[in-house]
Amino acid sequence: MARYRLRFLLQEFDLPRGATLIGRSSDCHVTIEDPLVSRQHARIVIDGDEATLQDLGSRNGVKLNGAPIRSGAKLKDGDRLRVGTQELVFCRVEQVANTAAKTTGFLRHCAKCRLPYPQEVIACPNCGATEQMDEETLSGQFGAASQGSWSVQLLIEVLEKALSLSRVADAERILRRATAQVEERIVSHEQVDPRQLATLAVAATRIALEVDDPTWGSWAAQVYRRVQFIPPAEVIERLGQLGPRHPEVAEAIEALVLHCRSFTRPLAEDETEVISRLEQLRASLAEVRASPRGAAADPRPS
């Protein structure tokens, strides 16, 4: 009798006989952190050799191979399920080798946005492009470091979707999970993806401005003191808006300037420019703090 699996990014889930719940709730068998996913979004039912996909009245619906389903639909090997912003692949396994279970997968890199995605997915889940970079296709067994990077990337995609919908509370919750994973990698002296860190820092400063809370702004400044990267110009701009109102952010900026000055590696032109802007920001914040009226000024544009 055939066995069935559900592939989500680089993870594969065995689908047992009976029902498998998919949703945002931790009570589901497959939990997806995505603001567009309902708590109990969909269900896959395995009955004999047949598999059926059901929409559980979700707010944003379920798509099967790009088309929305109304109530239930039969599944076949290779079918693509769209739940929220995430794409899953349904797999039929006729024979299972008698070897220890391991997480494997094949990646391709999108030629347009350069993000990796599973080989089974026809189009890039991020931008929809079908062009791929064959020379960067990866395969084989993925260890904890690769899985950690994938986990952060998944959270980033959901985070950006939440911010685009102005769901700040959801975004902050997801950001907290993503930054915790990055912090673990830094403490363990594991490699941190500079693009992922930049995206998280931009999101952190945006949330800090949205809720007028310096916590995330301070984190964005402090985390760059622990890695050999230069923060994006967008982060510097937002820190400049937070600094005059929140002394702790101004202090974090001052410490970040000293850290960047200590770099001994050659700096790219854009990095040198960002450091120059950071030093200008530090000087302007020092003037604000020295002015009796500066502390009360609101630097936000009208």
Give the tens place of pLDDT for each residue, 150-171: 778 878 888 888 899 898 988 9
Q: Which of 23-27, 58-62, 297-301 has the highest mean pLDDT?
A: 58-62
* Residue 225 Cα distances to 165, 229, 254, angstroms: 31, 8, 11
Instruction: Determine the 3-state secondary structure of 295 from DSSP.
Output: helix
More confident residue, 189 or 103: 189
Spatial contact of 165 and 85, defined as CB atoms under 8 Å apart: no
Q: What is the DSSP letter of 232?
A: P
Give the tens place of pLDDT for each residue, 70-89: 878 999 999 999 998 888 89
Confidence (pLDDT) at 198: 94
* CA geometry: angle 110, 113, 118, nearest 5 deg: 35
In the sheet with 104-110, reading across from the earlier edge strand, the strands are: 116-118, 104-110, 132-141
Beta partners for residue 8, in sequence order:
11, 88
Confidence (pLDDT) at 33: 77
Spatial contact of 125 and 86, defined as CB atoms under 8 Å apart: yes
Spatial contact of 108 and 119, defined as CB atoms under 8 Å apart: yes
Show Cβ contacts of residue 48 under 8 Å, excluding neighbours closer than 6 positions. Answer: 1
Would residue 48 be called left, alpha or beta, if left means φ above 0 and alpha means ψ between -120 and 50 degrees? left
pTM of the model: 0.54
- Is the pLDDT score of 145 beyond 50? no
Both tokens of 106, joined, read 């094949």
Confidence (pLDDT) at 239: 93
168 backbone dihedrals φ, ψ, rounded to 5°: -65, -40
Is the CA virtual torsion 269, 113, 119, 70 positive or negative? positive
Confidence (pLDDT) at 292: 66
Q: Which of 41-50, 142-151, 260-269 has the highest mean pLDDT?
A: 41-50
Give the tens place of pLDDT for each residue, 103-127: 434 445 566 655 555 555 556 656 6
More confident residue, 157 or 135: 157
Both tokens of 219, joined, read 């984190």
- Is the pLDDT score of 96 beyond 60? no
What is the C-alpha separation between 138 and 136, in angstroms, rounded? 6
242 backbone dihedrals φ, ψ, rounded to 5°: -85, -35
- Is the pLDDT score of 133 beyond 60? no
What average pLDDT does this structure show over 196-202?
94
Confidence (pLDDT) at 184: 84
- Is the pLDDT score of 182 beyond 70? yes
Give the tens place of pLDDT for each residue, 40-68: 999 999 998 899 999 999 988 999 998 99
- Is the pLDDT score of 32 beyond 90? no
- Is the pLDDT score of 13 beyond 90? no
Of 99, 100, 123, nearest in space to 112 by CA: 123
Give the tens place of pLDDT for each residue, 205-262: 999 999 988 999 999 999 999 888 999 999 999 999 998 889 899 899 999 999 988 8
* CA geometry: angle 76, 48, 32, nearest 5 deg: 55
Residue 61: in which H helix or E strand, if any?
none
Confidence (pLDDT) at 299: 46
